[in-house]
Amino acid sequence: MTCVHVITHGNRALYEESIQQFFRLRHQVFVEERGWSGLRRFDGFEIDAYDNEYAIYLLAIDDGRVVGGQRLYPTLLPHMISEVFPKMVQRGVPQAADIFEWTRYFVVKERRTGRTDCRLLAAMQEFCLEEGISEVTAVVEMWWLPRWQQAGFKVRPLGLPQTIDEQPCIAAAVEISEASLDHVRRLAGLRGASLIRHGRTSRPIHRVPHAVA
C-alpha cells in the first residue's frame, strides 16, 4: 500500500535509497518527459541548489518504490520564485516563516490514473497543517490550476501566466486549510491521516535561521 513519508534533514539517513530514486525519477519526469532541458544532467539525477538541508520531501512510497513526490522549501531563504522566477510575480514575492515553496511535484506515469495524485496533494495539506504552514507558493504549468481547484485547493495567482519552455506557466499561492484537506481526501476516498514520520523529522518552520529574514 502506498504511503507518503516525510523526509527532512533529521531523518534523511533512513531514506537515502528513496531519495536517490526520487532524484532519478525527477530527471525522468521533468527532463525526459516534460522537456525542461535546463535541468538535464549526464548522470540522470535531477538535483538543484535547493536540495539542501532545508528541503523537506514528501514521497509516496509503495513497497520500497517511489511512485511520486514533492518538495517544500522555506521562502525566508532564497528560493526558486525569488531567485529564478521573480518576473512571474506581479504582486510581491510572498516570504514568511509560515510560507513554504512547493516544487518538483510529480506522479510516475503508471500511477497517474489512480489515487496517488490525491494522496500526495492530501499529504502536502496534512503536513503543512501539522507544521503550522499557512500557504505554499509554486510555479506550475497552467493546466494544473483546474486540477488543484477541483481537488478543493484555494489558489491565488501571483501574476499573469508566462511562457516557459513553450508552456504557459503561472506563479501561484495555495492556501493550507482543513477544508481543502477534507475535500481532497473525500475525492479520493482516503480515510484519515496518511503521513508517515520515521525518526526525527524536526520542526522545519523553526529551523530557518532568523538572520535571513
Q: Which residues make up the interface to another protein (CB under 8 A)?
A: 1, 90-91, 110, 112-115, 117-118, 141-143, 145-147, 149-151, 157, 159-162, 167-168, 170, 187-189
Q: Closer to another protein by CB, 73 or 105: give it.
A: 105
Q: Closer to another protein by CB, 19 or 171: give it.
A: 171
Tell me how many degrees the CA angle 196-197-203 measures, rounded to the nearest 5: 135
173: alpha, beta or left? (left if phi > 0; alpha if psi -120 to 50): beta
Nearest to 171, CA basis, from 112, 98, 41, 84 = 84
Q: Closer to another protein by CB, 19 or 170: give it.
A: 170
Q: Closer to another protein by CB, 52 or 150: give it.
A: 150
Q: Closer to another protein by CB, 159 or 204: give it.
A: 159
List the beta bridge partners of residue 65: 62
Cβ of residue 36: shortest distance to another protein, in angstroms? 16
Give the whole-angstrom CA distance, residue 153 versus residue 213: 28
C-alpha cell at 197: 514520520
Query: What letter would DSSP give residue 25?
Result: H
Cβ of residue 142: shortest distance to another protein, in angstroms? 6
Contact 5, 58 (CB under 8 A): yes
For cell 486540477, the residue is 147
Cβ of residue 13: shortest distance to another protein, in angstroms? 27
Give the whole-angstrom CA distance, residue 58 versus residue 71: 6
Amino acid type, 76? L
Cβ of residue 79: shortest distance to another protein, in angstroms? 22
